[in-house]
Structure 1
Amino acid sequence: MSILKTRITDAVKAAMRAGDKPRLGTLRMISAAIKQKEVDERRELDNADVLVILDKMVKQRRESVEQYESAGRDELAAAEHAEIAIIGEFLPQPLTDAEIDALVTAAIRDSGAEGIRDMGKAMGLLKPQVQGRADMSDVSARVKAHLQ
């Protein structure tokens, strides 16, 4: 079992003991997403796979927050923010803007990308390095800006 899955399982147990229902609900949702992916792929997930799931969950919640806030549903947006905070506990430290720029520059150099058509090469190198640590749409925009 991956270290990240173990941490999530331990957090579920702690939330159950503490009677923290909102936190427990979010942690169970994370566990269910991991188990579903394992069943679908018929293999045990490693830390990188779990990070991809967590990153996707945070992205979905950010999109929901935008929709709720534009619709004036602040209570639902607050609930999504709370879930983002809980999921974020299991993600690695986010990269700073300077770190992202350095990784983008290195990936463009290492991939030999010379224009927008080569953007996929650079993104292929970047994705494993920034997964769960930076918003991929932001990284993609930075790569695109460097290649133009």
Structure 2
Amino acid sequence: MREELTAALKDAMKAKDSLRLSTIRLIQSAIKDQDIAQRTAGKEPLSDGEILQLMAKLIKQREESAKIYEQNARPELAEKERQEIAAIASFMPRQLSDDETKAAIEKAIAETGASGIKDMGKVIAALRAAYAGQMDFGKASGMVKAMLG
């Protein structure tokens, strides 16, 4: 993942694509911040799955910012946020559809042997391990809860 970001950074520099370049630098900066936090806690640097989770978080932040800009009649700033979302999303794997998410949850429930709400954490952990960056875990946890409840 890190090599892919570095290659994309070089391509953006060559293409003089300032928006993509600044967005990639933003992603790399966030990764570096998390790596430092991990190192001070005595942990390993971020894995690819954790990098994908970090990028999903960055996308969510930009979606919230775009919504606020729209509400405050600043469409040009909202558009910039949406362009950053598109740049970040280009590094993310394809998002699972609702049907695919439901099937993945059913599979995770079967694999973990979950039988009730108390096992929800095990199911979500299995989903995070298998589908990092591919599913909205906020929505997925509601679906897991409904299936186990």
Q: TM-score range by the shorter chain?
A: 0.7 to 0.9
Q: CA deviation at 1:56?
A: 1.4
Aligned to 1:137: 138
TM-score under structure 2 normalisation? 0.86
Give the residue type in structure 1 aligned to 2:96. Answer: L
Deviation at 1:89, TM superposition (A): 1.0
Partner of 1:77: 78
- Superposition TM-score, scaled by structure 1 size: 0.87
The equivalent residue for 1:7 is 4
2:49 paired with 1:48? yes
2:133 aligned counterpart, secondary structure: coil
Aligned to 1:21: 18
- 2:81 and 2:145 mapped to 1: Cα distance? 30
| CA RMSD across the alignment | 1.7
CA drift at 1:5: 0.6
Letter in 1 for 2:30: A
Please list the CA deviations of residues 13-64 of structure 1 after superposition, one character each: whole Å capped at 9, or x if unmatched: 1111221111111110011111112222224433222212112111222222
The structure-2 alpha-carbon separation of the partners of 1:120 and 1:44, relative to structure 1 and needing over 3 Å to count, comes to closer
Q: Give the aligned residue type for 1:75.
A: E
What residue ranges of structure 1 are gaps of 5+ in the alignment?
Answer: none
Total equivalences in the alignment: 145
The equivalent of 1:38 in structure 2 is: 35
**Pairwise CA distance, 1:118:** 2.4
Q: Does 1:100 align with 2:101?
A: yes
SS of residue paired to 1:131: coil
- Structure 2 unpaired stretches of 5+: none
For 1:43-90, what per-residue CA distance to the aligned partner results, in whole angstroms no more than 9, with x for missing partners?
A: 443322221211211122222233333333322221111111101111
